[in-house]
């Protein structure tokens, strides 16, 4: 497993020598693996010299040599070490800008147009994660809606969508894992009156129309978007990533003219 600690023993070499008086010495032969693996020269115990990274290398070939006292006789063997993926990376946001503009009183953000303008690499990453989501959900006994435990409104999402957050789990090698769960928060305590996020698909919804004008309106909102893998479950070792989304409220001419008598 890639999250095994340095110093962990992964194999113990057993060698026989008819010259019983010989002292055998073990060593790693291939230098490219010597940074990740080491062997105790007197016992043949192969252990991790540094942490492994599944996302970088999934398989190692470690060549170990044993030699006798006078280094006259040597023998070599190759150990194949297959690295298993661990949940050691937090989700990665794909398309989260620094800010978006939403007109007060109505929705003007067109998410479909944004997707059509995305770079090809980003579209591929999005499709890859969606395909992987289908596969991992098919291995679960729960339906996607079963994972929704009511961290937001239990009612169907009939409010307007102003953005759709997408994140992927870089730990693609794990065969069974739960979906990414999205939550949001803000330093402005009134945010719950206006915004909510669907915990599974990442759509940000307006619960009621925004107002920019004083005394009750705000010209901008700063939302913190949190993406947590393993459905956000701490008991499953969930990893989290947070980013910020600023919503600029665009003013429209929605106030009636006031006649001032002189």
Please report, for the chain, the start and end positions of each structural domain, with discontinuous segments joined by +.
Answer: 9-82, 92-250
Q: Could you report the per-residue pLDDT of 4-29, keeping only the tens digit for each?
A: 999 999 999 988 777 767 788 999 99
CA-based radius of gyration for the chain: 28
Write down the pLDDT at residue 150. Answer: 44
Q: How does the average pLDDT of the chain come out, rounded?
A: 79
Give the β-pairing of 240-250 and 99-103. parallel
Q: In this prediction, what percent of the chain has a pLDDT beyond 90? A: 47
Write down the pLDDT at residue 138. Answer: 38
Task: Give a three-class secondary structure readout of the chain.
Answer: CCCCCCCCEEEECCCCCCCCCCCCEEEECCHHHHCCEEECCCCCEEEECCCCCCCCCCEEEEEEEEECCCCCCEEEEEEEEECCCCCCCCCEECCCCCEEEEECCCCCCCHHHHHHCCCHHHHHHHHHHHHHHHHHHHCCCCCHHHHCCCCCCCCCCCCEEEEECCEECCCCCCCCCCCCEEEEEECCCCHHHHEEECCCCCEEEECCCCCCCCCCCCCEEEEEEEEECHHHCHHHCCCEEEEEEEEEEECCCCCCCCCCCC
Alpha-carbon span 226 to 235, nearest angstrom? 18
Write down the pLDDT at residue 174. Answer: 77
Give yes or no for residue 142 having a pLDDT over 80.
no
Higher pLDDT, 36 or 117: 36
Count of all residues that appear for the chain in the document: 262
CATH topology of domain 9-82: Immunoglobulin-like (2.60.40)
Nearest 5°: the CA angle 27, 31, 35 is: 90
Token pair, residue 261, equals 């008598």
CATH topology of domain 92-250: Immunoglobulin-like (2.60.40)
pLDDT bin (cut points 50, 70, 90) of residue 48 is very high
Write down the pLDDT at residue 111. Answer: 42
Whether 92-250 and 9-82 are alike in CATH topology: the answer is yes
Give the count of alpha carbons within 13 A of 223, CB side only.
28
Give yes or no for residue 231 having a pLDDT over 50.
yes
Q: Could you report the per-residue pLDDT of 84-137, keeping only the tens digit for each?
A: 988 889 999 998 898 999 988 754 344 444 444 444 544 455 555 555 444 443
Average pLDDT (218-242) is 93
Q: Could you report the per-residue pLDDT of 202-228, keeping only the tens digit for each?
A: 999 998 888 888 887 899 999 999 999
Q: Which residues pair with 243 in a beta bridge?
A: 225
Alpha-carbon span 226 to 148, nearest angstrom? 16
pLDDT bin (cut points 50, 70, 90) of residue 31 is confident
Give yes or no for residue 151 having a pLDDT over 60.
no
């Amino acid at each position: 497993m890639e999250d095994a600690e340095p110093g962990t023993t992964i194999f113990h070499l057993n060698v026989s020598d008819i010259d019983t008086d010989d002292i055998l010495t073990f060593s790693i032969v291939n230098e490219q693996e010597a940074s990740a693996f080491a062997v105790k020269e007197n016992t043949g115990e192969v252990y991790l010299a540094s942490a492994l990274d599944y996302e970088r290398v999934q398989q190692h070939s470690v060549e170990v040599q044993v030699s006798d006292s006078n280094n006259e006789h040597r023998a070599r063997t190759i150990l194949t070490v297959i690295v298993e993926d661990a949940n050691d990376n937090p989700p990665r946001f794909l398309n989260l800008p620094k800010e978006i503009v939403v007109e007060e009183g109505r929705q003007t953000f067109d998410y479909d147009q944004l997707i059509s303008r995305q770079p090809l690499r980003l579209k591929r990453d999005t499709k890859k994660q969606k395909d992987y989501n289908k596969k991992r959900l098919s291995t679960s006994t729960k339906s996607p809606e079963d994972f929704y435990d009511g961290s937001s409104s239990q009612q169907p999402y009939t409010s307007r969508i102003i953005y759709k957050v997408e994140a992927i789990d870089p730990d693609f090698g794990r065969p069974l894992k739960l979906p990414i769960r999205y939550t949001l928060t803000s330093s402005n305590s009134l945010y719950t009156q206006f915004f909510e996020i669907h915990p599974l698909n990442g759509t940000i919804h307006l619960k009621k129309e925004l107002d920019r004008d004083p005394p009750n309106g705000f010209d901008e909102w700063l939302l913190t978007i949190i993406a947590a893998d393993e459905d956000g479950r701490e008991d499953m070792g969930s990893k989290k990533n947070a980013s910020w989304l600023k919503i600029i409220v665009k003013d429209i001419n929605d106030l009636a003219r006031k006649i001032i008598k002189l």
